[in-house]
Amino acid sequence: MFLYNITLQRATGITHAIHGNFSGTKMQEIVVSRGKILEILRPDANTGKVHTLLTVEVFGIIRSLMAFRLTGGTKDYIVVGSDSGRIVILEYHPSKNMFEKIHQETFGKSGCRRIVPGQFLAVDPKGRAVMIDEETTMLFKDIYYHFIIIKTEADNDPTGEAAANTQQTLTFYELDLGLNHVVRKYSEALEEHGNFLITVPGGSDGPSGVLICSENYITYKNFGDQPDIRCPIPRRRNDLDDPERGMIFVCSATHKTKSMFFFLAQTEQGDIFKVTLETDEEMVTEIRLKYFDTIPVATAMCVLKTGFLFVSSEFGNHYLYQIAHLGDDDEEPEFSSAMPLEEGDTFFFQPRPLKNLVLVDEQENLSPIMSCQIADLANEDTPQLYVACGRGPRSTLRVLRHGLEVSEMAVSELPGNPNAVWTVRRHVEDEFDAYIIVSFVNATLVLSIGETVEEVTDSGFLGTTPTLSCSLLGEDALVQVYPDGIRHIRADKRVNEWKTPGKKTIVRCAVNQRQVVIALTGGELVYFEMDPSGQLNEYTERKEMSADVVCMSLANVPPGEQRSRFLAVGLVDNTVRIISLDPSKPLWSKCLCLQFSEAVFYNGVLLRTVLDPVTGDLSDTRTRYLGSRPVKLFRVRMQGQEAVLAMSSRSWLSYSYQSRFHLTPLSYETLEYASGFASEQCPEGIVAISTNTLRILALEKLGAVFNQVAFPLQYTPRKFVIHQETNNLILIETDHNAYTEATKAQRKQQMAEEMVEAAGEDERELAAEMAAAFLNENLPEAIFGSPKAGAGQWASLVRLVNPIQGSTLDQVQLEQNEAAFSVAVCRFTNTGDDWYVLVGVARDMILNPRSVGGGFIYTYRLTGGGEKLEFVHKTPVEDVPLAIAPFQGRVLVGVGKLLRIYDLGKKKLLRKCENKHVPNLVTGIHTIGQRVIVSDVQESLFWVRYRRNENQLIIFADDTYPRWVTTACLLDYDTMASADKFGNISIVRLPPNTSDDVDEDPTGNKALWDRGLLNGASQKAEVIVNYHVGETVLSLQKTTLIPGGSESLVYTTLSGGIGILVPFTSHEDHDFFQHLEMHMRSEFPPLCGRDHLSFRSYYFPVKNVIDGDLCEQFNSMDPHKQKSVAEELDRTPPEVSKKLEDIRTRYAF
Amino acid sequence: MTDRYNIHSQLEHLQSKYIGTGHADTSKWEWLVNQHRDSYCSYMGHFDLLNYFSVSENESKARVRFNLMEKMLQPCGPPADKPDDA
């Protein structure tokens, strides 16, 4: 088996974000790292939308990211520390839209190691130096000014009590420019353990020095006479959190202008504080903190010069806010280090909804994908992806469909059912369209576009006839083609008309800026061209085609030329002819060439052909099936580029995005006709008709593969199952470190009572009022976070969801500290047709080291047509039930390390059979026939045979590698795919001579050599595939993604990525891609210096998988490299691109 | 003779350059401490492992990182009184 890896959607979680002027213009960009992906984003200051400029997979782990600027420069560079053991400096080239590696410095071995630097980066504010630090410090480049690191000196020598007092040291380094050397300036032990540092601008901008963020405190330090300034981190008033918990800052952003600077720092509850420093003659006298706003907890924040705040959330969607106020002049209290406080005491504030920030844009983020199932539950032909993602109160159930999201700008009803629509501009220089022309069976409606869209009659268009086409002709004239003639409307409203001869009518036409070609009934072509005076002249000679014309197309006139030289005509006899319109050549000559990539259609199939303008060869034909209706094509503009809208039973957009050709369906109803649309409100829209409505649509999320619908959940979703009969989902949600609703309400009540009790006699009334206000206060947890209850506290629920409406049909809240970990829906042979839902629950579980107070299996009956959960009984078990699977009318349950078969009883489930030989913890159970495949948390897979006669579960085979299996999937009777915690996917298969009939050895007198190695099973599975994805895979499923497509193995990752592994169908293909991958590795090595082969072999040597992500980078190589690689493969570059696209479209999109 | 000295100095060089390089007198405790620190460092470096911990513990990523950093200080408790007993 040979597989090919394709990423369908790249990871969406952000681990680092930096901002700067990376393209060297005034515009600020944001560079984000998505783990193994580097991406550059540009927030548009006018629209407030964030656009992606470039995404590059680096095939390595980005551990740190910094921007720096050379002295006197205007362009920022990117420093990337990765697991390659190297540090690279990248430059962004906006013209070529690519990153260029301008420097690479090797430090050590690859991997995320303690002794290889790269985890922490610091940059000298003047851009002269970069410092890299792991646990040991190393220096890089030879030019330094001064900056600071925390160095953890974990001392080994002190015995006993001394070790507890180990302190962190803060060390200031300074660059001596004269000596070109770094000097260790000053070192000091810290009182608390810091978790991160904020550098304070130095020199002319500020007092320099550093803010140390540690648990509960923020401290300012500098060398010299500067005393330490310390301020406690304010806490929320009446917080439900565990009172013993400390508070830390998790991220910060610095904003600096010529006159002032401030920091925004976010706590782990999501509260942002504005931090300012008061200075007196270069000495810092005071730290001031002011509560700014509360937003979801972020991994990084960037304050942009345009007044935007970009926030990359830890989990869930990312946001772009506008900073509306700086929080300077309001009534809210400010906290200062100068205020006297007792040691250990802190300030309190009241969190509130946003006041200083305004949300302007949101970027969808699936991370973390906890579970995913692919099925066509909505009966749409194409399966949907049901993805349970998010953590805690920000969790969602999302339904993903392949397609572009369409935003509806306007919908208006029309008097009848129109059959076509066009937009025209009034003048060639105009930026926006002036008229929308709608054609009906016997009339034409003209609408003018302004503030509103209104019907007009003075446009010069003929309203009493249907229209075949209309467009702008020349500079400022308009043309309307209707069945009986052509109407040429000049700018001064003079109208020239051309009437069809005799009984003939116009059936088809093609128009561009200067030319008009019409086809009359019977296949006669008439050609018109505009002369320099603006007159439309008929060309005397006419062309008879051999059959009726079904379609025609003219390319746009190339800039600087008089005409487009070619016309494409499609005939009834299934041919497409290209006709020359060049007067110097014999007119109406036969097939020549098109100068643009053209799409041709029939029978719902789209062919995309590129024709070589030099040789005139027809090449690179790509075919796609679009739908059950004949395809119509419309040229539109998307992000300043030409795109083609194709309409069949679904509408598709064909466009080029980041050097890859995309053909994506629109997630919208069937459209009949469309045209590009540009107005002030909507610069790149589409006007389309659908039955009797006119719609103005915009496509904003180009490049997105999936269109999402999200339904909120309460806690982190763990698993879900589909009830096949009703297509409903049964979902379990579990949060560690959380209170259930009941406990929360109880604790709130308790706190309110305490408040009243604590108050003195005279303040009673006031306190009662405050308590009432506190009880009524309800801040949304999705933004403000849920209270952290402490370790070992669990909240959990079981939810029955209708996945199409997203409505919760039924819900069971479990008690405090009960945590649901597994769910199954099944029938029992001894109880007839009833469906049962089994939920495995652990009580009082401690995560590390794992211990558990007990477990239960809750049994519910599905009633009310599968819309109600009716509690049946509760079966106590001794350990965590992490896996449940239906098996031959009974259930298999993994209880801790035990594998058991249970049957349904009256009062509880009845244990029927048990196997104790799984080493650690059963995390998953799969069954096929009499075989049961069990995954262990640490020891990979075990094949178990159920022997019905003896009622025994016997392990007969296992795997030879220790894999920390997160999820597994059956591929066939002998083959299993599994994914592990470290981001590997592997496929193992039982050899053909494996025997299921292995006897357990109860006597123990079996020969030693029969027992298997190290107490393992006597038969071993063979590894077929090993592949390192680089992100933790939490779901695997074998499925088809497109109707008529072949099966593929779909995986989803914790970082929000979705990918597939597909088998090669021919040796030839495999050979081709193997060579392509090999050439790509040497010709186009990964950007951050990681060796591709060793990255894909991170934990196990890569086996039998070809990395399509690397192969697809072929399209972003520069043309001469493409050519040389293609030549090595005996192909041309378009042929290689076509191959890459073909394998993708065969299985997915 | 020179060879032996050479190997000796090479080892010393390795030990000074790469923390955790073992030698004849490495105690069980020292070895374990290095193992644990290497693991913690790997958890912090691999973004998805950090995500994994963060989701399961329901703590912010910064807090998980901070906790791991703190644990690196003395992952296996204080060293035994007499290292040669270990």
Domains of chain A: 407-704 (2.130.10.10), 1048-1147 (1.10.150.910)
Which residue of A154, A735, A1031 is in closest CB contact with B72?
A154
Q: How far B11 CA sits from the closest chain A CA (Å)?
A: 17
CA A1036 – CA A970 distance, rounded (Å): 9
Q: Residue A33: exposed, middle, or buried by beta-carbon count in 10 A (0-12, 13-18, 19+)?
A: buried
- Which residue in chain A has the smallest CA separation from B35? A114
Is residue B2 situated within a structural domain?
A: no
Sheet holding A952-958, edge to edge: A922-928, A931-936, A941-947, A952-958, A1019-1020
In whole angstroms, what is the distance from residue A356 CA to residue A374 CA?
Answer: 42
CB atoms A847 and B41 under 8 Å: no
A649 vs A11: CA distance, rounded Å: 31
The two structure tokens encoding residue A795: 């909240």
Q: A604: Cβ–Cβ under 8 A, 6 or more apart, which residues? A: A625, A626, A627, A628, A629, A630, A631, A648, A649
- Give contacts of A 94-123 with B, CB under 8 A: 111-115, 119
- Using a CB-CB cut-off of 8 Å, the residues of chain A touching B79 are 156, 159, 163
The answer to whether A775 touches A347, Cβ cutoff 8 Å, is no
Range of B33's domain? 26-76
What is the C-alpha separation between A783 and A353, in angstroms, rounded?
Answer: 9
List, as ranges, residues 34-63 from B with C-beta within 8 Å of A: 37-38, 41-42, 44-49, 51-52, 54-63
Task: For the sheet with A717-723, list strands across it.
Answer: A717-723, A728-736, A794-802, A807-813
Q: Supply the DSSP symbol for A476.
A: T
Contact A391 B54 (CB under 8 A): yes
**Cα separation, A781 vs B8, whole angstroms:** 61
Dihedral sign from CA coordinates of A57, A61, A64, A69: negative
Residue whose tokens read 């909505």: A378
With an 8 Å Cβ cutoff, is B86 touching chain A? no
Instruction: Give the distance, in angstroms, between the CA of residue A763 and the centroid of all CA atoms in the same chain.
Output: 53
Which residue shows structure tokens 């640490």?
A938
The most distant pair of C-alpha atoms in chain A lies apart, rounded to whole Å, by 110
Residue with tokens 């353990």: A193
pLDDT for A860? 96
Number of domains within chain B: 1
State the smallest CA–CA distance between residue A961 and chain B in angstroms. 19
Q: Tell me whether residue B72 is in a domain.
A: yes
In a domain, B47, yes or no: yes
In a domain, B4, yes or no: no
Q: Which chain B residue is nearest to residue A819, measuring alpha carbons?
A: B56
> Going by DSSP bridges, is the β-strand pair A407-413/A693-698 parallel, antiparallel, or unpaired?
antiparallel
Q: Mean pLDDT across chain A, nearest whole number?
A: 84
CB atoms within 10 A of CB A464: 8
Is B46 within 8 Å of A196 when comparing Cβ atoms? no
Cross-chain Cβ contact B74/A1053 below 8 Å:
no
Q: Is residue B9 part of a domain?
A: no
A327 within 8 A of A290, measured Cβ to Cβ: yes
The residues of chain A scoring below 50 in pLDDT are: 127, 133-165, 585-603, 612-616, 1008
**Which residues of chain A are within 8 Å of residue B27 when distances are taken between CB atoms?**
none
CA gap A582, A580 in Å, rounded: 6
Confirm or reject contact between A788 and chain B (CB < 8 A).
yes
Q: Specify the pLDDT at position A144.
A: 29
- What values do phi and psi take at A969, rounded to 5? -150, 135
Q: Is A1081 helix (H, G, I), strand (E, B) or coil?
A: helix
Chain B residues whose CB is inside 8 A of the A112 CB are: 41-42, 44-46
CB neighbours of residue B39 within 10 Å: 16
Give yes or no for a contact between A97 and A148, defined as CB atoms under 8 angstroms apart: no
Beta bridge partners of A894: A883, A899
Question: Does the beta-carbon distance from A297 to B69 stay under 8 Å?
Answer: no
Give the burial class of A755: count Cβ atoms within 10 A of its Cβ; 0-12 exposed, 13-18 middle, 19 or more buried.
middle
Task: For A475-498, write each residue's pLDDT tens digit.
Answer: 788 888 888 888 888 878 788 888
The Cβ of residue A554 has, within 10 Å, a number of other Cβ atoms equal to 21
**Least Cα separation, residue B4 to chain A (angstroms):** 27
Give the residue from B21, B23, B46 with the most A CB atoms within 10 Å of its CB, the best one to mutate. B46
Q: Residue A112 carries which side chain, given as an amino acid letter?
A: C
Q: How far is A168 from chain B (nearest CA, A)?
A: 10
A598 Cβ under 8 Å from any chain B Cβ = no
pTM tops 0.90, yes or no: no
Q: Which of residues 140-159 of A touch B (CB under 8 A)?
A: 152, 154, 156, 158-159
Give residue A163's pLDDT. 40
* Rounded CA separation A649/A179 (Å): 73
**A window 247-276, beta carbon within 8 A of B:** 248-251, 268
Say if B33 falls within a structural domain: yes
Question: Which residues lie closer than 8 Å to A1027 by C-beta, 6 or more apart?
Answer: A3, A5, A984, A985, A986, A1061, A1096, A1102, A1103, A1105
Q: SS3 for A1072?
A: helix
- The answer to whether A729 faces chain B, any CB pair under 8 Å, is no
Alpha-carbon gap, residue A477 to A468, rounded angstroms:
17
Neighboring chain A residues of B46 at a CB cutoff of 8 Å: 61, 112, 982-983
Give the C-alpha separation, A880 to A865, whole Å.
31
Residue B31 has, within 13 A of its CA and on its CB side, a CA count of 10
Q: How far apart are CA B25 and CA A86, in angstroms?
A: 33
How far from A1060 is each of A5, A561, A1078, A1146, CA to CA, in Å? Answer: 6, 47, 21, 12
Q: Are A885 and A891 in contact (CB under 8 A)?
A: yes
**Which among B37, B61, B72 has CB closest to A299?**
B61
Matching residue, tokens 């470190």: A737
Q: Is residue B50 part of a domain?
A: yes
Which residues of chain B have a CB within 8 Å of the CB of A161? 78
Give the residue from chain A lying closest to B47, CA to CA.
Answer: A35
Asked whether the beta carbons of residue B46 and residue A982 sit closer than 8 angstroms, the reply is: yes
Distance from CA of B3 to the nearest CA of A (A): 27
Q: Peptide bond preceding A368: is omega within 30 degrees of 0, i.e. cis?
A: yes
Q: Where are the beta strands (DSSP E) in A666-716?
A: 673-677, 685-690, 693-698, 706-712
In a domain, B64, yes or no: yes
| Cβ–Cβ below 8 Å for A159 and B61 | no
Is the Cβ pair A315, B55 closer than 8 Å?
Answer: yes
